[in-house]
Amino acid sequence: MGKKSNNRNTDSRQYYSGVNRSSKLSVMKVVARLLVLLAFVGVCVPALRADAYDAKPKLVVILVFDQFRGDYLDRYRADFKAKNGWNLFLNQGAHFTDCYYNYANLVTAAGHSTIGTGAYTDGHGIPLNEWYELGPGGKLRQVSSVEDDRYRLVGAPAGTKDLTGASPHREMATTLGDELVLATGGQARVYGVSMKDRAAILTSGHATRGAFWIDHETGTWETSTYWMTKLPAWAATSNESGRAAQARKESGAATGSFYENVGRAAASVSYQLDFAKALITGEELGQNPAGVTDMITISISSTDINGHAFGPDDPSQKALIVQSDALLDDFFGFLDKTIGLNNVMVAMTGDHGVATTQKSAEAAGMPALDFPPELITKPLEERLEAKYPLKGKGRYVLQMDNPYLLLNRQAFEAAGVSEEEAENTAKKMVMDIFASNMQESGKMQENDTPGTQRQMDPVAITHIYTTLQMREGALPDTQYGRLLANSYSPYVGWALHINFAPYQFPWRGMGTTHFTANSYDRHVPLELFGAAFVPGTYHGLVAPVDIAATFASLLRINRPSAAVGRVLNEAMRQEKAGSTGPN
Ligand SMILES: [Zn+2]
C-alpha cells in the first residue's frame, strides 16, 4: 500500500477541518461555486484531490436502484423536495442525462457485474441471472449467477431447506472494490448490500469482507461462508430488532413473501438503507484505522419488484421513487453526521431500464405485444424433434431465458449434431416460426384491444444470432454488432440471442420486463457526488462502465481487470500541478 505522508499539501478540506459541520457545508458551497466560476473563466484552481491511500474520500458509495430507467429522475424532479435526497445528485452533483449500457443482455446479474467491474459481459462473464451448467455426474442443472455449493448460507432462518451458499466465483473480472482492497494491501474494507444476493455480491466483488442479502420469505439478512461463519453482532442485532416486522407493518403486507410483498413498497427501501447504516456503523466504514478509503455497494431492489408488477408508468412506481427521496435524504444525512458528506464519494445508477407495459404502449399507439415464450419454444422443440428424433430421451430447447434461447448441447451431441448445425438449424426454424405465426400473434393483439381501429402488426424479431457467431466475433460492424460482441459469455453455451421490435417480447403475466438492446432497457441514470466533481447537468453519451474507470482514476488505483469505461474528466475539478498521487 501507499506510504502515509505527514506533509500532504493542504487542500480545502483540511483547511476547513476545524470548522463545525453545518458552517463547513455552507462554506463548502460557497467554495464550490467559486471553483465553478473560476474554472469557467479559465483560471487554474487548486485541486480537491482524491486518493485511496490517504482516505480521500473516506468512503465510496456505489448506489444502484434496480430497474431504474434513465428518464425517471428528470421526469419526477418537481416532486423531489428533500435537500439531500435525489437533489444531492441533481443539484449538488454531476447529473448525466444520456447514460446507456453498451451491451444487449440487460438483466440484473449482468448489470450489477457491469457496474462493479466496469466491464461488459464479454469481460466479466455474467450473461444472465440463471443459466445451465453440468453438475456432479455430468447432470445438467440450472444455476444462479452466484450460487456456490462449496459454501453454506449464514444467518438464514431456522428451517431453511436449501442452505446452498453463494460467492462471486462466476464473475471473471475484478471489481472497483477488489482493486481498492488490492491497492491498499487488504486494508480497505469493502461490503455489498441488497435484497438480492446477486446484486449484493457481483457489484462489490471477490476481495470483500462481506456481502449481505435477504431470505426472501422472511426478510432476514444473510450471507455465506465464503465471507464468514457467523453474522457480525450488528447484523444479528438487525435481524433480532423487529425491523422486518416493522417493514411489514409499514407496507401493509402482514403475510406472504417479504421479498414480493414488502419488497415493492417504500418500506423495503428504508429496510435496506437502515441495514446499510447498521453496517457502516458496525464496521466503522469511513473511519479506516489504516487511513485508507472504504467502500460499500448498495442495491435497492424495490423499484425492480414493483416495476415488473406494474410497469414504469404506474402511479405506484412514481410514488416509490418520490418516497425514496426522503429516505435517501435520511441516509445521506446519516453519512454527513458520521463521516461528513465532504468525505464521501457517491455514484448512483441503475442495472437496466425497462419497457413500457403492453397496455401503456398500446394506449400510446405503439404496436406493442407481450406473448408467452411457448409461442417460440414449443414449435421449435417439435420441429427439432421431427428433424433429429430423440424418441422421448430429453429435449432440445432448455428455456427462453431472455434474451437467450438456450439449447441443450447434450441432446444435440447425443443426436450427433454439431454446435454450428444445431444453432443454425434452430435459428432458421425460429425465423420460420415467426413468419408463419405472424397472423396468430396479430390476432392476439387485436383481441386484446377491442374497438381499436389501428391494425396491429405481428411480433417482429429485429436481430437473431447464434452464440457461435458471438464467440467467433462474426458480427456486423454496426452498433448492434458491437452491443452483441459485448454480450458474449461462455456460460450461455449453445444458444440463440434474440432481439425483438420495441415493446414486443416474450413475457408471462402482468407488468413488463427488460433484457433487450432497445434503448429503453439500456438507459439508466448516472449521478456522481463528491468533492472531486463539478456540479452540473452533462449531456452526451456516457455509460455505467465509466463509474469504475472514473473512480479508479480519482482513487489513484488500477482500474478493474476488464474495465472498458471512460474517465468522466468533463465532470471533474481540475487538479493542481504536483498532485500526482501517492509515493
Ligand atoms: Zn435488475
Interval 279-291: pLDDT, tens: 999 999 999 999 9
Distance (Å) from CA 196 to ligand 1 centroid: 9
Question: Which candidate, 341, 349, 356, 413, places its Cα nearest to that of 543?
Answer: 349
C-alpha cell at 167: 460467492
Ligand 1 center from residue 539 Cα (angstroms): 25
Q: Which of 3-12, 340-349, 451-460, 568-577 has the highest mean pLDDT?
A: 340-349
pLDDT given for residue 510 in this prediction: 77
For residue 403 the three cell numbers come to 434474451
Distance from the alpha carbon of residue 165 to the mean position of ligand 1, in angstroms: 21
pLDDT band, residue 5 (cuts 50/70/90): very low
- Give CA–CA dist 209/285, Å, rounded: 11
Calpha distance 155→212 (Å, rounded): 10
Cell reading at 391:
424418441
Does residue 534 contact residue 362 with C-beta atoms inside 8 Å? no
Peptide linkage before 403 cis (omega within 30 of 0): yes
Other Cβ atoms closer than 10 A to 579 = 16
| Residue 479 confidence (pLDDT) above 60 | yes
Cα of 108 vs centre of ligand 1, distance in Å, is: 3
With a CB cutoff of 8 Å and minimum separation 6, the contacts of 421 are none
Which three cell numbers, joined as nine digits, stand for 287?
473511519
Q: What angle do CA 300, 303, 308 make, to 5 degrees?
A: 135
Per-residue HEC secondary structure of 42-73 comes to CCCCCCCCCEHHHCECCEEEEEEECCCCCCHH
Task: Place 195 in a pLDDT band, splitting at 50, 70 and 90.
Answer: very high
Rounded to the nearest whole angstrom, what is the distance from the C-alpha of residue 352 to the centroid of ligand 1? 6
* pLDDT in the model for residue 444: 47
Q: What is the pLDDT of residue 581?
A: 41
User: Which H/E stretch holds residue 74?
Assistant: helix 72-75
Please give the distance, rounded to the nearest whole angstrom, from the Cα atom of residue 107 to the centre of ligand 1. 6
Q: Are 555 and 522 within 8 A, CB to CB?
A: no
Distance 436 CA to ligand 1 centre (A): 33
> Per-residue pLDDT for 121 more than 50?
yes
Distance (angstroms) between ligand 1 centre and the Cα of 73 equals 17
Å from CA of 199 to ligand 1 middle: 8
pLDDT averaged over every residue in the chain: 89
- Give distance in angstroms: CA of 314 to centre of ligand 1: 18
Question: What is the model's pLDDT at position 27?
Answer: 55
Give the residue carrying C-alpha cell 471533474: 572
**How far away, in angstroms, is 375 Cα from ligand 1 center?**
25
Q: Is the pLDDT of residue 450 over 60?
A: no
Prior bond of 57 cis (ω within 30°) = yes
Cα 553 to ligand 1 centroid, rounded to whole Å: 27
Task: Give dist(CA 512, CA 526) in Å, integer.
Answer: 23
Radius of gyration of the chain (CA): 25
**CA–centroid distance, residue 140 to ligand 1 (Å):** 26
Say how far apart CA 62 and CA 171 lie, in whole Å: 18
Rounded to an integer, the average pLDDT of 344-363 is 94
pLDDT digits (tens, 9 = 90+) for 209-229: 999 999 999 999 999 999 999
pLDDT value for 6: 37
Rounded CA separation 192/187 (Å): 16
Distance 292 CA to ligand 1 centre (A): 31
> In which region does residue 458 sit, left (phi positive, over 0), alpha (psi from -120 to 50) or beta (all else)?
beta
pLDDT for residue 33: 61
Cα separations in angstroms, 114 against 175, 204, 310, 435, 533: 9, 11, 26, 35, 22
| Distance between Cα 356 and ligand 1 center (Å) | 15
Residue 262 phi, psi (nearest 5): -80, -35
CA of 201 to the centre of ligand 1 (A): 13
CA of 67 to the centre of ligand 1 (A): 5
Q: Are 237 and 220 in contact (CB under 8 A)?
A: no
pLDDT at 20 over 60: no
* C-alpha 304 to ligand 1 mean position (Å): 6
Partners of 144 in the beta sheet? 130
* DSSP character string of 467-517: HHHHHHT---SSHHHHHHHTT--GGG-SEEEEEESTTEEE--SSS----SS
Over residues 193-207, the mean pLDDT reads 98
- Portion of the chain with pLDDT greater than 70, in percent: 87
Q: Single out the residue of 391, 395, 389 nearest to residue 410, CA to CA.
A: 395
Q: Report the DSSP pairing between strands 369-371 and 504-506.
A: parallel
What is residue 437's predicted lDDT score, i.e. its pLDDT?
66
Give the pLDDT score at 140: 92
Partners of 511 in the β-ladder? none
Q: Are the beta carbons of 251 and 303 closer than 8 angstroms? A: no
Between vectors from CA 127 to CA 126 and to CA 128, what angle results, nearest 5°? 105
C-alpha cell at 101: 449500457
Task: Tell me the DSSP string of 416-442.
Answer: T--HHHHHHHHHHHHHHHHHHTHHHHH
- Is the model's pLDDT at 18 over the cut of 50? no
Q: How far is the CA of 513 from the centre of ligand 1 (A)?
A: 10
What is the tens place of the pLDDT at every residue in 237-278? 999 999 999 999 999 999 999 999 999 999 999 999 999 999
Residue 11 has pLDDT above 60, yes or no: no
The CA 58 to ligand 1 mean position distance, Å, reads 28
Query: Residue 147: helix, strand or coil by DSSP?
Result: strand
When pLDDT is cut at 50, 70 and 90, the band that residue 110 belongs to is very high
Does the structure show a pLDDT above 90 at 448? no
Ligand 1 center to 63 CA (angstroms): 13
CB of 100 within 8 A of CB of 522? Answer: yes
* Ligand 1 centroid, distance to 445 Cα (angstroms): 28
Give the pLDDT confidence score for residue 578 in this predicted structure.
63
Residue 93 phi, psi (nearest 5) = -125, -170
Query: What is the model's pLDDT at position 21?
Result: 42
Pull the grid cell for residue 486: 459485448
What digits encode the pLDDT tens for the residues 386-411? Answer: 999 988 788 999 999 999 999 999 99
The whole-number pLDDT of residue 155 equals 98
Cell digits for 56? 480521500
pLDDT band at 454 (very low <50, low <70, confident <90, very high): low
Q: Model-level pTM?
A: 0.89
Ligand 1 centre from 66 Cα, in Å? 5
Residue, of 461 and 259, whose pLDDT is higher: 259
The helix (run of H) or strand (run of E) holding residue 202 is helix 197-204
- State in Å: Cα 139 to ligand 1 middle: 29
pLDDT at 367 over 90: no
Q: Taking 70 as the threshold, does the pLDDT of residue 328 lie above it? A: yes
Low-confidence winner among 5-19, 107-121, 302-316, 533-547 (lowest mean pLDDT): 5-19
The Å distance, Cα 572 to ligand 1 centre, comes to 29
pLDDT (tens digit, 9 = 90+) per residue, 31-62? Answer: 556 555 544 443 333 345 678 888 899 999 99
